[in-house]
Amino acid sequence: MNKILSKLPFKILKTTAVSGGDINKTYKLEAVEGNFFMKVNSLIKYPELFKKEANGIKSLAQSDILKTPRVVTYGESDNYQYLILEWLQAGNETPESQVKFGRQLATMHQKPQPFFGFTEDNYLGTWRQPNTQHTNWQDFYTECRIMPLVKLIVDNRTFYKENRVAAENFCSRIGELFPDEVPALLHGDLWGGNYISLENEDTALIDPAVYYGHREMDLGMSRLFGGFSAKFYEGYNEVYPLEQNWQERLPYSQLYPLLFHAYAFGGNYINSVKEILKRF
């Protein structure tokens, strides 16, 4: 820790461990220059984790719509890597802030992107997610999201032949299951723990797993673990109305994060994935 702190471009007055990191050790740094947020993790287990996260934050920031923490610096020290971000002081979430958040996310999604995928691979949690560029959603969702994780779960012997076949059948129908839309910049891991309500009804996005994809992926993730009120969806639909029956398609957009959780944690996530796939 001291080696990391000695590399930072400011004078540290106090370091306090804080909660909120599922896979990282996280700290509040109080310095002469202000307050900062620091993440620390293994360099060996997750190479370039924080470089990829910093690039994702910068991509969201460049859209100039939703707030993000400013990336101060990132680097390596011995077997550790670290990321230093601006400290964001949480405020009170209100119905008005959720409406504004929904409108802003919809505005970000409205801007068309050149392809499905991204300019580099990055991480969803502990999984290095491939972001190979594709011209259509079906191929990208199949080759870079669903089938790589299905293979890992099969290799772990928690998936069987019939589950793999069902996943292949699902992938063959992605083009008809999802409405045809242009790629959108996605947060990529938009659950309730990955945004911060600020003052003045603003919202900041944190911990992204960005890529260019179908916008219903962000909406599906937002409904998977809670944290978003009905006002959020009202605001979203004011700006960029979702296609008819989007709620019925939630299991299809949630399949990817559920597959990741099934791979990482097993348990009931395996059953949730099988429940979605059994109709195929």
Contact 99, 206 (CB under 8 A): no
The confidence score (pLDDT) of residue 20 equals: 66
Q: What are the structural domain ranges in the chain?
A: 2-86, 95-277
Question: Is residue 53 over pLDDT 90?
Answer: yes
CATH topology of domain 95-277: Aminoglycoside 3'-phosphotransferase; Chain: A, domain 2 (3.90.1200)
CATH topology of domain 2-86: Phosphorylase Kinase; domain 1 (3.30.200)
Average confidence (pLDDT) over 90-94: 91
Mean predicted lDDT score pLDDT of the chain: 94
**pLDDT classification of 105: cutoffs 50, 70, 90:** very high
The confidence score (pLDDT) of residue 263 equals: 93
pLDDT digits (tens, 9 = 90+) for 208-263: 999 999 999 999 999 998 879 999 999 999 999 999 999 999 999 999 999 999 99
The confidence score (pLDDT) of residue 199 equals: 84
Q: What percentage of the chain has pLDDT greater than the value 70? A: 99
**pLDDT classification of 6: cutoffs 50, 70, 90:** confident
Report how far residue 63's alpha carbon sits from residue 51's, in angstroms, rounded to the nearest whole number: 19
Average confidence (pLDDT) over 151-162: 88
pLDDT digits (tens, 9 = 90+) for 250-267: 999 999 999 999 999 998
Which one from 121, 180, 189, 218 is the annotated catalytic residue? 189
Average confidence (pLDDT) over 265-272: 92
DSSP output for 29-88: EEETTEEEEEEEEETTTSTTHHHHHHHHHHHHHHTTSSB-PPEEEEEEETTEEEEEEE--
Average confidence (pLDDT) over 51-77: 95
**pLDDT classification of 178: cutoffs 50, 70, 90:** very high
17-26, 35-44, 136-145: segment of lowest average pLDDT: 17-26
Q: How many residues make up the chain in this entry? A: 280
The confidence score (pLDDT) of residue 155 equals: 86
DSSP state of 22: S
Whether 189 sits among the annotated catalytic residues: the reply is yes
Report how far residue 123's alpha carbon sits from residue 121's, in angstroms, rounded to the nearest whole number: 7
pLDDT digits (tens, 9 = 90+) for 179-196: 999 999 999 999 999 999
Question: Is residue 160 over pLDDT 90?
Answer: no
